[in-house]
A and B are shown apart, each in its own frame.
Chain A
Amino acid sequence: EPEVTQTPSHQVTQMGQEVILRCVPISNHLYFYWYRQILGQKVEFLVSFYNNEISEKSEIFDDQFSVERPDGSNFTLKIRSTKLEDSAMYFCASSERASVSIYFGEGSWLTVV
């Protein structure tokens, strides 16, 4: 079964540092997403991306965050200046159609110290 792959699986970074989380969505999918889950809390929507632009974003996705599809396969989430409260599991996801049968990756666990 095709899958969404994410790297790194775990990253520890110092507060104020920039972090880039990488994702390879499923190859024929057109819609891409980032979600995050703080330990013990619910899965939160960050942003959706289609046709090389952001289609929806939540209030969490402020100016500190950006997304990019630098080539035909990768989809990245950048956090410019990390804060302690950015510590969470970040999930990349993709789908053929908008918000239908979304496939999630295994996640990137970010720890900000």
Chain B
Amino acid sequence: LAKTTQPISMDSYEGQEVNITCSHNNIATNDYITWYQQFPSQGPRFIIQGYKTKVTNEVASLFIPADRKSSTLSLPRVSLSDTAVYYCLVGDYYSGNTPLVFGKGTRLSVIA
């Protein structure tokens, strides 16, 4: 499994755009990049998944450069309710042989 590195914590004010970058230097050809969000005492929640370039949904955008050695989760105009831990995961999920392995994630604190 590709090792991922992301900041331990980040702070942001409400209304700002937040970008969380994840490094995955040894990502393999078949690996996808997936981000999950976890609120205290709740299960992780799928946010977005991508393979290359840019993916956008109603919650976030995911930017992946051509070399795929990093990715950036972008949360537009965060609110207090976006305070959570965000996990970057990398793996060959579509093969069916790679369980999700969570790291420590990035603890985002949104301040009023």
Q: How large is the interface on B (under 10, 10 to 19, 20 to 34, 35 or more residues)?
A: 20 to 34
Complex interface: chain B residues within 8 A of A102 (CB):
46, 100
CB neighbors of A among B78-93 (8 A): 87, 91, 93
Say whether B29 faces chain A, with CB atoms less than 8 Å apart. Answer: no
Residues of A within 8 A of B (CB): 4, 33, 35, 42-45, 48, 50, 55-56, 58, 89, 91, 93, 97-107, 109
Contact, CB under 8 Å: B41 / A97: no
- With A33-B99, A42-B105, A43-B102 given, is the CB distance from A100 to B42 under 8 Å? no
- Secondary structure at the B interface, as helix, strand, loop or mixed, is loop
Complex interface: chain B residues within 8 A of A55 (CB):
96-97
Contact, CB under 8 Å: A99 / B41: no
Option from B38, B93, B99 in Cβ contact (under 8 Å) with A45: B99
